[in-house]
């Protein structure tokens, strides 16, 4: 495996629709993860992709993508809340 920087983030070259699709894939991976720590990593990746999609979608005013981003943020919030509740149950 190569070490060092791989250059600019490949996310920068994605369209808002592609970044949203990537975020949704990350969310699905988080839902399917058996390990909550891995699920949180997927959630982080989804959040990064959503942030990129949101930034770029605001410049294009694509309402379909903007609504998709809002839905994905809601799904992300619900998933993180569920992970936090599961963690609290295990600790409590």
Q: What phi-psi label fits residue 14: left (phi over 0), alpha (psi between -120 and 50 degrees) or beta?
A: beta
| 2 belongs to a structural domain | no
Most confident of 8-12, 55-59, 79-83: 79-83
**Tokens 């369209």, located at residue:** 15
| 3 belongs to a structural domain | no
Closest CA to 69 of 92, 41, 48, 38: 48
d(CA 49, CA 69): 10
- Least confident range from 4-18, 20-34, 75-89: namely 4-18
| 5 belongs to a structural domain | no
Domain span at 75: 14-91
| 78 belongs to a structural domain | yes
| 22 belongs to a structural domain | yes
Closest CA to 64 of 75, 53, 76, 79: 53
Main-chain phi, psi angles of 14, to 5 degrees: -80, 145
- pTM, whole model, 2 decimals? 0.83
Residue 12, pLDDT above cutoff 80 = no
| 23 belongs to a structural domain | yes
Q: Across residues 10-29, what is the average pLDDT?
A: 92
| 6 belongs to a structural domain | no
| 9 belongs to a structural domain | no
Structural domain count of the chain: 1
């Amino acid at each position: 495996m190569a070490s060092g920087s791989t250059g600019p983030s490949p996310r920068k070259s994605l369209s808002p629709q592609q970044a949203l699709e990537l975020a949704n894939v990350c969310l699905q991976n988080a839902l399917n993860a058996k390990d909550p720590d891995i699920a949180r990593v997927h959630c982080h990746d989804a959040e990064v992709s959503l942030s990129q999609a949101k930034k770029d979608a605001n410049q294009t005013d694509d309402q379909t993508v903007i609504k998709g981003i809002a839905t994905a943020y809601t799904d992300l919030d619900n998933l993180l809340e569920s992970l936090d509740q599961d963690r609290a149950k295990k600790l409590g």
